[in-house]
């Protein structure tokens, strides 16, 4: 069967869970929340152990298959979790189909992947999960859906955001739902329950940390390398996720690219940019025609691969190079 985020909670409350589940999508927050909900329901159903695998090579799939054959020797019911890129290959597909067939009373199979392309959706192992278990494809929140999504999340936290406050929050977190949830949790802790206006959000955010990713975005937008690197060091020291830092930089890169193409940022789809952001972009307009967009995009891609463990290196060092080059300092080859 195929589920949606709307039907998933009701499904988990039913008397009996399916033997196998597939969660797929690129919205990390929503995938993680769905997986947490499924694990909680499984624990309530008596699945007290959890075994997690991250197969990358053919040998990894063989190890999973070998381990699965001995699971019935143990008494405790178990969640068998397999997280991979979605491209299983011949060996992986065969192992997954075997695991789907074996799942049942003692083992609940949970497969987690990024969004599946059309070809992968038609593979035998996906069809097997749909037939015997459940598939929950999780789609990205579009710019048009973002403000209603934020409003609903804020209400769950006891906050009623004004339209201006909602617009400001949407602009600050567009493209990063994890940052959005963190921001709402921060507001819940700093502000009393009830009505929240734009000024309250600005004051709450300003008082919560010495540095924030928006200050970094402003610095690279202005070409202020000294400030950008100082803020970057502060973010690293405070334990901010590099994914959030990269998002802030690439957001401003996309904004300047739009200017170069002659687009009007005030008319772009999605959350409305506040006047202060529009003014900052206008001041940066002369820089928009001079930036090495291809090289900066390549550098940003390297950071993303380092964060995900697909490329050796320290993403923070690469972020520093990205900031410096964005600000117009002497470029360093991305290798």
Q: For the segment 237-254, what is each residue's pLDDT rounded down to a tens digit?
A: 878 889 989 988 998 898
- What is the reported pLDDT for 207? 45
Residue bearing tokens 């923070």: 316
Contact 98, 128 (CB under 8 A): no
In percent, the amount of the chain with pLDDT more than 70 equals 90
**Domain 213-326: which CATH number of 1.20.272.10, 1.10.286.10, 3.40.50.2300, 1.10.3720.10:** 1.20.272.10
Task: Compute the half-sphere exposure of residue 281: CA atoms within 13 Å on the CB side of its CA.
Answer: 21
pLDDT (mean) for 174-182: 79
| Continuous segment of H or E residues that includes residue 21 | strand 20-25
Lateral strand order in the sheet of 47-53: 47-53, 77-83, 107-113, 20-25, 134-138
State the architecture of 143-208 in CATH terms.
Orthogonal Bundle (1.10)
Whole-prediction pTM: 0.62
Tens digit of each residue's pLDDT (9 = 90 or more) over 27-67: 888 999 999 999 999 998 888 888 888 987 777 888 887 77
Class at the top of the CATH hierarchy for domain 8-138? alpha beta
Kindly report the average pLDDT of the chain as a whole number: 84
Give the lowest-confidence range in 65-79, 84-98, 213-227.
Answer: 65-79
pLDDT (mean) for 270-280: 69
CA distance 302 to 318: 8
- What is the reported pLDDT for 191? 79
Tens digit of each residue's pLDDT (9 = 90 or more) over 277-301: 777 788 888 888 888 999 999 999 9
Torsions phi, psi for 112 (to 5 deg)? -125, 125
- What is the reported pLDDT for 134? 93
In percent, the amount of the chain with pLDDT more than 90 equals 29
- Give the start-to-end residue ranges of the domains of the chain: 8-138, 143-208, 213-326
CA distance 199 to 274: 13
Which string of DSSP letters, residue by residue, matches 130-193? HHHSEEEEEPPPPHHHHHHHHHHHHHHTTEEE-HHHHHHHHHHHTT-HHHHHHHHHHHHHHS-S
- What is the reported pLDDT for 71? 53
Give the lowest-confidence range in 58-72, 99-113, 203-217.
Answer: 203-217
User: Which residues, other chains included, contact 41 with Cβ-Cβ below 8 Å and sequence gap of 6+?
Assistant: 12, 13, 17
**Residue 209 in this model has a pLDDT that exceeds 50:** no
- What is the reported pLDDT for 8? 92
Per the DSSP assignment, residues forming a β-bridge with 25 are 138
**Residue 266 in this model has a pLDDT that exceeds 70:** no
**Residue 173 in this model has a pLDDT that exceeds 90:** no
């Amino acid at each position: 069967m195929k589920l949606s985020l709307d039907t998933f909670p009701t499904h988990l409350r039913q008397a009996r869970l399916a033997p196998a589940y597939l969660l797929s999508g690129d919205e990390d927050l929503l995938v993680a929340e769905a997986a947490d909900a499924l694990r909680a329901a499984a624990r309530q159903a008596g699945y007290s152990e959890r075994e997690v695998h991250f197969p990358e090579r053919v040998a990894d799939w063989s190890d999973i298959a070998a381990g699965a054959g001995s699971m019935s020797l143990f008494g405790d019911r178990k969640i068998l979790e397999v997280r991979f890129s979605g491209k299983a290959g011949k060996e992986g597909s065969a192992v997954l189909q075997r695991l789907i067939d074996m799942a049942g009373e003692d083992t609940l199979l949970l497969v987690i992947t990024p969004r599946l392309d059309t070809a992968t959706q038609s593979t035998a192992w996906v069809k097997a999960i749909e037939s015997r278990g459940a598939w929950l494809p999780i789609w990205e929140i579009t710019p048009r859906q973002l403000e209603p999504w934020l409003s609903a999340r804020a209400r769950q936290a006891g906050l009623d955001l004004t339209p201006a406050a909602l617009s400001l929050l949407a602009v600050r977190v567009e493209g990063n739902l994890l940052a959005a949830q963190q921001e709402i949790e921060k507001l819940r802790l700093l502000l009393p329950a009830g009505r929240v206006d734009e000024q309250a959000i600005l004051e709450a955010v300003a008082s919560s940390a010495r540095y924030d990713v928006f200050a970094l975005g402003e610095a690279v937008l202005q070409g202020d390398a000294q400030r950008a690197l100082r803020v970057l060091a502060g973010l690293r020291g405070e334990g901010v996720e590099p994914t959030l830092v990269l998002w802030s930089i690439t957001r401003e890169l996309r904004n300047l690219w739009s200017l170069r193409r002659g687009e009007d940022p005030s008319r772009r789809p999605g959350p409305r940019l506040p006047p202060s952001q529009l003014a900052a972009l206008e001041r940066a307009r002369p820089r928009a025609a001079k930036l090495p967009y291809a090289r900066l995009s390549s550098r940003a891609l390297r950071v993303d691969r380092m964060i995900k463990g697909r490329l050796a290196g320290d993403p923070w060092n690469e972020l520093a190079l990205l900031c410096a080059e964005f600000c117009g300092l002497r470029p360093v080859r991305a290798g």
